[in-house]
Amino acid sequence: EDQVTQSPEALRLQEGESSSLNCSYTVSGLRGLFWYRQDPGKGPEFLFTLYSAGEEKEKERLKATLTKKESFLHITAPKPEDSATYLCAVRQSGSARQLTFGSGTQLTVLP
Amino acid sequence: SAVISQKPSRDICQRGTSLTIQCQVDSQVTMMFWYRQQPGQSLTLIATANQGSEATYESGFVIDKFPISRPNLTFSTLTVSNMSPEDSSIYLCSVGEGSYEQYFGPGTRLTVT
């Protein structure tokens, strides 16, 4: 059974204090690892897709990386508007695009 | 990416009643998905809805409780039947077409009293 574990559950940072969120996964035949951002009361917003170990994607202050067992979402010099819950999800080969989500990391960036 | 809308955005319903949630997409898509997000929890897939075929339900979800319609390539509905307080959740629809990522609607926040 696919497992996706995110850590930490919650993270509080000062504005400008860089850090990383972790997503470890157990899946046979990974067909994509996805990062989403979710603001309170809203649907998840797509950020990145990673397909193979060694791949990296960047968007503004966010950088996602992938190894064979985990992914990291690096946040460089965060701002208060980066506060949100960050979700990762995996898709297994043959799963017809179903995604298995982790429980998320709630990030709070203090001014 | 597709633009997805859901109706209603929120509702408060009484125990034993049913609510139908609508999901509208601004382009034709083959696959639509319905998720549940219970308070403080992550997303759990309820079912996959393909146009022209019966919805495929995940373990723990049954058609009698969560009937789904998919009349065309831009629209789907999810009904939450015979509701109980445990059904209080955010219900989300998503679409995945072409690439592997899915795009989500804004969600429907349901409270059952």
Backbone angles phi, psi at B84, to 5 degrees: -130, 165
Return the pLDDT at A1.
64
* Token digits of residue B46: 């309820």
Task: Residue A98: list chain B partners with CB under 8 A.
Answer: 33, 45, 48, 58
Helix (H, G, I), strand (E, B) or coil at B92: strand
Q: Which pLDDT belongs to residue B20? A: 98
* Minimal-distance CA residue of chain B relative to A103: B42
What is the per-residue pLDDT for B98?
58
- The pLDDT value recorded for residue A96 is 62
- Testing the interface with B: which of A23, A27, A50, A98 to mutate, by most B Cβ within 10 A? A98
Q: Which residues contact A32 (CB under 8 A, 6 or more apart)?
A: A49, A50, A51, A90, A91, B100, B101
Cβ atoms within 10 Å of B113's Cβ, excluding its own: 9
Q: What mean pLDDT do residues A71-86 have? A: 97
CB within 8 Å: B100 and A104: no
| CB of B57 closer than 8 Å to CB of B46 | yes
Residue A28 is predicted with a pLDDT of 79
CA dihedral sign, ordered A98, B103, B90, A5: positive
Locate A68 and state its tokens: 């064979």
> Mean pLDDT across the stretch B8-35?
95
pLDDT band at residue A108 using 50, 70 and 90 as cut-offs? very high
Beta strands in chain B (DSSP E): 4-7, 10-13, 19-25, 31-37, 43-50, 56-57, 68-72, 75-80, 89-96, 103-104, 108-112
Chain A positions touching B104 (Cβ under 8 A) are: 36, 43-46
- Where are the strands (E) in A1-111, listed by range? 3-7, 10-14, 19-26, 30-38, 45-50, 56-59, 62-66, 70-75, 84-92, 100-101, 105-110
Q: Do A34 and B101 touch (CB under 8 A)?
A: yes
Which of chain B's residues have a Cβ under 8 Å away from the Cβ of A103? 41-42
Report the sign of the C-alpha dihedral through residues B85, B86, B87, B90, in that order: positive
For B19-97, CATH number out of 2.60.40.10, 2.60.15.10, 3.90.1150.10, 2.130.10.10 equals 2.60.40.10
The confidence score (pLDDT) of residue A22 equals: 98
- The domains located in chain A, with CATH, are 3-110 (2.60.40.10)
Contact B32/A at CB under 8 A: no
Weakest mean pLDDT among A6-15, A56-65, A84-93: A84-93
Where do the structural domains in chain B lie, given as residue ranges? 19-97
Say if the Cβ atoms of A98 and B45 lie within 8 Å. Answer: yes
Percentage of chain A exceeding pLDDT 90 = 81
Has residue A74 got a pLDDT over 90? yes
pLDDT digits (tens, 9 = 90+) for A55-68: 999 999 999 999 99
Is B45's Cβ below 8 Å from some Cβ in A? yes
Q: Verify whether the Cβ–Cβ distance B96 to A43 is below 8 Å.
A: no
CB of A31 within 8 Å of any CB in chain B? Answer: yes
3-state DSSP call for residue A33? strand
In the predicted model, is pLDDT for residue B85 greater than 90?
yes
Q: What does the mean pLDDT of chain B come to?
A: 93
CA A90 to chain centre: 10
Which of A44, A91, A100 is opposite residue B104, by nearest beta carbon?
A44
| Predicted local distance difference test score (pLDDT) of residue A97 | 65
Instruction: Determine whether the interchain pair A98/B107 forms a contact, defined as Cβ–Cβ distance below 8 Å.
Output: no
Q: Kindly state the average pLDDT of the residues A40-55.
A: 93
Vertex B66: Cα angle to A27 and B34 (nearest 5): 45
Taking the Cβ of residue B71 and every Cβ of chain A, the question of whether any pair is shorter than 8 Å is answered with no
Residue (of A5, A24, A25, A37) closest to A109 by Cα position: A37
Calpha distance A52→A105 (Å, rounded): 23
